[in-house]
Structure 1
Amino acid sequence: MNIKIQPISNGIGQEIININNISVLELDKEEIINLFKSYGILLFRGFQANAEIFKQFSNSLSTDFINYAGGAFSRRVINGDETILSVNDFNSEIKLHGEMYYQQNIPLMLWFFCANPPLKDGETTVCDGREFFNKLSSSTKELFRKNNLKFTVTMSQKDWQKKYQTDDLNKLEEMCHKNNTHLTVNADQSIMLEYICPAIIPSRCGKYQVFINSLLPTKQLSPKILNFEDGSEIPDEVMSELNEIAEKITTEISWQKGDILMIDNTRILHGRRAFSDNQRDIYIRLCSPAFSF
């Protein structure tokens, strides 16, 4: 026995623990894939991984790595590789969400790596979007079935050029078209973006409904940009219900140096607790699985 496998918590995922000083690169890929398909989230702990091993390991199970063009936050590129990014843009809480669900083309898989843990706090939070859907009241399920979400964002020329990593309007138009996002360009080259999407999606296998989206952090950080498609507000009592469910089913992952976290971004929501020190350094990669579901 080289590893021990146990639940991350009572409700979610599997933790793969090194007990015989092996490399994470020596793990059985088929076993990892089967566990990932079943649970949607795996934590690899005790493998003494560094940034290069993290890159090799994620490369071995993934494809179609993307940069963060169009992403909501500023992210630092690691070791000159635009597919490895630090997530520490600021240190306040980020509520549970699916990654980049404010655009059509999302990364289907996420990898996180703990280059350095915080001195305290700063846990990554996760929950299963299937469980989240099942906890919703019947009236809230019906509300989201009938009403899509609508993101409306305005940006100056300088801001969109930084966010989309281009100063070419034609390239911006192409990116928006691929993401089913309506683009309006103003005379001063500022823009308005409108994107419409559901809050609930079918699972990959089609057997389940999954509550996964960018609703909670958007309402937390930039509340004015998100409403229902018809322009109406999401009721306060619905937001209270969502936040209460999120707290009840959240699992916190307290990082240890070298930890690797593998997430199905079509099922598992993630976020983080606030932290106050500058030690925390967590990397992320955005990609697709190199295996079929």
Structure 2
Amino acid sequence: MTTDPAWRPAVVDPGGTGAPATPDGLREYLRETDLAELLTRERAVVFRGFGISPDTYDRAAGDLLPHRLAYVHGNSPRTKVGRNVYTSTEYPPAYEISMHNEMSYSHTWPARILFHCERAPDTGGATPVVDGVLWLESLDPEVRAAFAPGVRYTQNLHDGMGFGKSWQQTFETEDRAGAEAFLEGAAADWEWRPDGSLRVTQLRQATLKHPVTGAEVWFNQADQWHPAGLGEDAAMLADLLPEEELPQNVVFADGSPIPADYITHVQETGMRLAVDVDWQAGDLLLVDNVAVAHGRRAYTGPRRILVAMSD
């Protein structure tokens, strides 16, 4: 399947729907809409102009997400601010975040992601999105072939002090047995280290077929786990620590290293093909997390984007 390089997220607003410019207007529109069909067709949808606020976001999320999920085993720094509602990320605003499908490194991942702009930044701060079929088709054939057997992710999760996230933050529990129970169902290998840290290894896919359309998409986060894709600070850390002790790392499925130029190619291709969703306060962005990858542009000024996920 070849996708349209001019693809952009659909925009649903009161002017186009005839619904009132209120949260109840959005609810009225959704009652009369096959949301699953809309999202499969459009891949990403911006709901704009319905006056969604912090007080009404939770109800809107309930309408748009069939079963809200906790961010268990997530590797991005976030703060939980509501009923399975989180800040979108807490990476410093001066840095871009490359394209990725949420939790594509895990054994399960959310089918839908809902972003809400509570406060737009002064400059920048768009959420770029890219069609996963286009991303895959645009990669060098040599790179696609090398990734075809899959990738192997490794996390070193500290016990409360160290680089990266702790295992307690990652699994939202203070109980070792709780973390182990999650990992037992995740087709992951793990071991507790003498210092109390937890090492987790997962063999995962590099591409995936969409469960409804059957389209094959690029679906992994190798470039966000490899030092070559994480900027100067990660490169310095990689010089200081043995590979097996890095907070996170990725290799090919057979254990061989992924060349840095492959990682750069994947990352730059995704960012080049992405289209920006420029935020207005009150916006909602609903994303099919298999069909579309997302990221973040650098920004200035206060910016508050909330995120919730569902199966």
Question: Which position in structure 2 is the counterpart of 1:11?
Answer: 7
- Once residues 153 and 224 of structure 2 are traced to their aligned partners in structure 1, the CA distance between those partners, rounded to angstroms, is 12
SS at match of 1:226: strand
2:183 to 176, 189, 193: 176
Question: Which position in structure 2 is the counterpart of 1:243?
Answer: 267
SS at match of 2:99: strand
**Runs of 5+ consecutive residues of structure 1 not aligned to the other structure:** 1-8, 289-293
Shift of 1:280: 0.2
Question: Which position in structure 1 is the counterpart of 2:157?
Answer: 155
**Are 2:251 and 1:214 aligned?**
no
Classify 1:157/1:237 alpha carbon distance in 2 versus 1 (closer, same or farther; 3 Å): closer
- Once residues 68 and 107 of structure 2 are traced to their aligned partners in structure 1, the CA distance between those partners, rounded to angstroms, is 16
- The answer to whether the 8 Å contact 1:212/1:267 transfers is no
1:45 to 39, 48, 63: 48
124-133 vs 50-59, which moves further: 50-59
**RMSD of the TM alignment (CA)?**
2.0
SS at match of 1:66: coil
1:191-210 CA-partner distances (Å, limit 9, x unpaired)? 11101111101111363211
Question: Which position in structure 2 is the counterpart of 1:27?
Answer: 29
What percent of counterpart residues are identical? Answer: 22
Classify 1:58/1:151 alpha carbon distance in 2 versus 1 (closer, same or farther; 3 Å): same
Paired residues in the alignment total 276
- Once residues 68 and 125 of structure 2 are traced to their aligned partners in structure 1, the CA distance between those partners, rounded to angstroms, is 26
SS at match of 2:72: coil
1:99-136 CA-partner distances (Å, limit 9, x unpaired)? 11221121111000000000111111100101111212
Taking the TM superposition and a 5 Å limit, the aligned residue runs for 1:237-276 are 237-276=261-300
1:147-172 CA-partner distances (Å, limit 9, x unpaired)? 31111111222221232221211111
SS at match of 2:155: strand
Shift of 1:270: 0.3
- The answer to whether the 8 Å contact 2:113/2:287 transfers is yes
Question: Which position in structure 1 is the counterpart of 2:110?
Answer: 107
- Once residues 245 and 263 of structure 1 are traced to their aligned partners in structure 2, the CA distance between those partners, rounded to angstroms, is 20
Question: Which position in structure 2 is the counterpart of 1:86?
Answer: 87
**Runs of 5+ consecutive residues of structure 2 not aligned to the other structure:** 161-165, 236-242, 244-248
Give the alignment's TM-score, normalised by structure 2. 0.82
Larger proportion of strand: 1
